[in-house]
Chains A and B, each alone.
Chain A
Amino acid sequence: MAGITTERILALHAAYTRCIDRNELESWPDFFLDPCLYVVTSAENHRAGFEGGMIYADTRGMLTDRVMSLRDANVYEKQSYRHIVGMPYVIKNGGDEAETETPFMVMRIMHDGKTDVFATGIYLDVVHAAGGDLKFKKRVVVCDSSRIDTLLALPL
């Protein structure tokens, strides 16, 4: 299937958030090309032009390592996310590669039932259609707030 359509972008977002929200993190790196760029940052840092973030990965291996660390090394209370993703705004569509901006909201549900708005923001994406499947070449998660409650374990 050639060309990037809004429908395909929507399907990618739906599959991505479903993967995280169903705790199927082992498949999460498959949504990215290798090399790639996945950064979680804040609007303030992004505006300031800071490249870094709370999470920074420039290879798919680093994404896999994060999942491994979350599974085997890190200690955090059982929790899950519910992503609500808005309509992607297509900034540029070159056929094989498109640049989009998509708002998101993530609720965090703790094991005792406590549910809070954990993060809101936009995904600044570069999606690529090489090889058929749409993949993220770049996903910069720009959180509206610079404040993180307790810790950021699961990816956004």
Chain B
Amino acid sequence: MNVNVPPGSISNSPQPTEWPEGTLTRVPFWIYHSPDIYALEQQRVYEGPVWNFLCLEAEVSKPGDYRTTFLGSMPVVVARDSDDEIYAFENRCAHRGALIVLDGGGHARDFTCVYHAWNYDLKGNLKAVAFEDGVNGKGGMPKTFCRSDHGPRKLRIALFAGLVFGSLSEDVPPIEEYLGEEVATRIKRVLHKPAVVTGRFTQMLPNNWKLYYENVKDTYHASLLHTFFTTFGINRLSQKGGMVVSPSGGNHASFSFVDKSTQGNDYAAMGLRSENEDFKLKDPTLLDNADEFNDGCHMQILTVFPNFVLQQIQNSLAVRQVLPKGLGETALNWTTFGFADDTPEMKTRRLRQNNLAGPAGYVSMEDGAVGGFVQRGVAAADGERAVLEMGGSGTTNEGTRATEAAVRGFWKCYRAHMGV
């Protein structure tokens, strides 16, 4: 194998940078713990031609509302100005670089950096510099100082179905094109009316962000690792369902329908751990599903590269934002939601079904840990690689979920951005 030491890497732990020959069916393990790759991701992925999910429109619904979030590791403020438009800018004072906004969100007329009181409007424009003209005729900024030459970096904003995306790139395609037609349609299927936020949690994952992102796109693992659903016959691979992958490879949606005609014994025959006939719920109201989108699809998991997940697990709806917090740490920000016209029954249903997902979710808690199992497992395996051959080697739409097509799609998109 061709081994190179990238510039800046620690000389006594060389990291191979050559991607294994050939297809997308091999992923080298150094990709999950190389500091050079991490730095490059900030530049080429998060600050590159991508749309980063920032927040829900519902979280900045009135002029003056703001939220703070991140574009990779770059702190960002999202605000709705008095013109009712949404703006986003780097949360970094143009003066000394301090955070302009310190809390997670709220309502404001403008923002003032606490350090030297430089003041910004809701668009991120520098509006005032304290003591700009000096004090008693002394000090102050030079006459040549022009406020409009100074300010935090501004993001381009794209709104889609109540989702706020931001980009630093001038070259990023329009949002519809970026999402791909099928993924766009499947976002609108769920977010067909304004969302109402019902809760927010952060789950800290002990692994590189890519391991979580692969996991979400990995339809193969769902019924094998998450035995809660399998046991109740909700997520058998024999159910009707499938997957779409966007042309870029970076976005996907997987979905399933209950198909009572195919309740087979495939799991029992294979003797897998997930078969457990005796497992019956004492209170099955948890699984009292309402077909709220009128299409029989009881589960849809959707991703948009590089950091967005939309979840519909029965009537449990959430968006998840995936943010890197270091080589081996990832913040998974969950925002659960419903709709303004939810009946009391639907509200209760969502409260109960939210047990299915989240940090304590019956079908998602494992995902909080399994990335860490890989991160620890590959600690000394820089020369080795993962195998992604389930369903062949392609990244195209599949009529089955027994495939790793969307995971390969992720790597196709990732490598195109990263140039690795």
* Interface positions of A (Cβ within 8 A of B): 40-42, 44-45, 50-59, 61-62, 64-66, 68-69, 72-77, 146-153
Contact = CB atoms under 8 A, between A and B. Distances in A.
Interface string B270-293: 000000100101110110000000
A149 B204 contact: yes
Given A61-B283, A69-B228, A73-B227, A151 B369 contact: yes
A41 B412 CA distance: 39
B231 A151 contact: no
Given A52-B351, A52-B354, A73-B279, A146 B200 contact: yes
A143 to B, nearest CB: 9
5 contacts: A45-B199, A45-B201, A55-B355, A150-B372, A151-B203
Contacts of A62: 282-283, 286, 352, 355
A72 B22 CA distance: 41
Contact of A50 (B199, B285, B358, B365): B199
Contacts of A147: 201-204
B279 to A, nearest CB: 6
Contact of A61 (B200, B204, B282, B362): B282
A139 B369 CA distance: 27
Nearest to B229: A73
A75 B204 CA distance: 17
Given A51-B351, A66-B355, A74-B362, 8 more contacts: A45-B199, A50-B198, A56-B355, A58-B348, A62-B352, A73-B362, A147-B202, A150-B369
B227 to A, nearest CB: 4
Contacts of B286: 62, 65
A150 B372 CA distance: 9
B365 A52 contact: no
What are the 7 tightest A-B residue pairs by CB atom distance, in nearest-first order? A61-B283, A61-B282, A151-B368, A152-B360, A148-B359, A151-B365, A73-B228
Interface residues of B, number: 40
Contacts of A69: 228, 362
B277 to A, nearest CB: 11
Contacts of A76: 365-366, 369
Nearest to B207: A150
Given A69-B228, A73-B228, A75-B369, A150 B203 contact: yes
Nearest to A57: B355
Contacts of B368: 150-151
Contacts of A56: 351-352, 354-355
Nearest to B232: A73
Contacts of B370: 75
A77 B369 contact: yes
Nearest to B273: A75
A76 B359 CA distance: 12
B360 A65 contact: no
Contacts of B360: 40, 54-55, 148, 151-153
Given A69-B228, A73-B279, A150-B206, A52 B369 contact: no
Contact of B199 (A41, A65, A66, A74): A41
Contact of B365 (A51, A72, A152): A152
Among B199, B206, B279, B366, max chain A CB count under 10 A is at B199
A72 B279 contact: yes
Counting chain A CB atoms within 10 Å of each CB, the highest count among B354, B360, B370 belongs to B360
B350 interface: yes
A104 to B, nearest CB: 17
Given A52-B199, A61-B282, A148 B204 contact: yes
